[in-house]
């Protein structure tokens, strides 16, 4: 091989190794100084990576714990609500307000408070009002309330020819339709 070819090969080797044909002298451990610098940088970088991974793992565990608690709370709440479901049954209540009764000419006006204790609106609530007139034969009349919203109260007025306090008046809800 000619000298020229050999020089060309040497240049190619130098350029492939970064252009520096000088090598670092070995240190006491037998590694070249460049290798030990790279190792110390790599090991310090590895330590910071390990700390970062531990931090990530802790953050992941915290977020997992919070997520599990949140999902368990939502599931428990939904289960509780399902167990407390009101269903189609609504408790309607009719209460006679004797203390608010008034007399206008020959008529006694007795207020009646009607309450819907349920979570559904009701329509066509029929209330049976019974009373004992002075002649002794029990009588009744039906009162219908067109609409009563959920959890609401409405006041109605009943007319009597005699004092309702002496008539033993009772009001009982009979039936309703759901809205």
Please, how many CA atoms are within 13 Å of residue 46, restricted to the half-sphere of its CB? 6
Residue 140 pLDDT greater than 80, yes or no = yes
Sign of the Cα pseudo-torsion (84, 85, 87, 89, in order)? positive
Q: What was the pLDDT predicted at 62?
A: 92
Instruction: State the DSSP H helix or E strand holding residue 32, giving kind and residue range, or none if neither.
Output: none
Work out the pLDDT band at 101, boundaries 50, 70, 90.
Answer: very high
Long-range contact pairs involving 142-145 (C-beta distance under 8 Å, separation at least 24): 142/174, 143/112, 143/171, 145/114
CATH number at 92-178: 2.60.40.1620
DSSP three-state, residue 155: strand
Q: Which of 17-31, 47-61, 109-123 has the highest mean pLDDT?
A: 109-123
**Predicted pLDDT of residue 56:** 73
Tell me what the pLDDT averaged over the chain comes to: 78
Domain extent listing, the chain: 92-178
Residue 111: pLDDT band with limits 50, 70, 90: very high
**Sign, Cα dihedral of 71, 76, 78, 79:** positive
Residue 35 has pLDDT above 90, yes or no: no
Question: Measured between alpha carbons, how far is 67 from 59 in angstroms, rounded to an integer?
Answer: 12
């Amino acid at each position: 091989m000619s000298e020229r070819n050999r020089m060309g090969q040497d240049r190619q080797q130098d350029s492939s190794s970064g252009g520096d044909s000088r090598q670092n002298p070995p240190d006491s451990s037998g590694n070249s100084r460049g290798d030990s610098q790279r190792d110390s940088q790599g090991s310090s970088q590895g330590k910071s990576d390990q700390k970062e991974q531990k931090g990530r793992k802790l953050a992941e565990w915290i977020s997992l714990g919070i997520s599990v608690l949140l999902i368990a709370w939502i599931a428990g709440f939904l289960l509780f609500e399902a167990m407390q479901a009101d269903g189609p049954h609504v408790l309607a209540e009719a209460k006679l307000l004797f203390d608010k009764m008034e007399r206008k000419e020959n008529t006694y006006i007795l207020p009646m408070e009607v309450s819907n204790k349920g979570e559904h609106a009701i329509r066509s609530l029929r209330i049976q009002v019974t009373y004992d007139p002075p002649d002794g034969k029990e009588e009744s009349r039906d009162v219908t309330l067109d609409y009563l919203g959920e959890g609401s109260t409405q006041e109605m007025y009943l007319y009597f020819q005699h004092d309702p306090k002496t008539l033993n008046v009772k009001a009982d809800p009979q039936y309703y339709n759901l809205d």
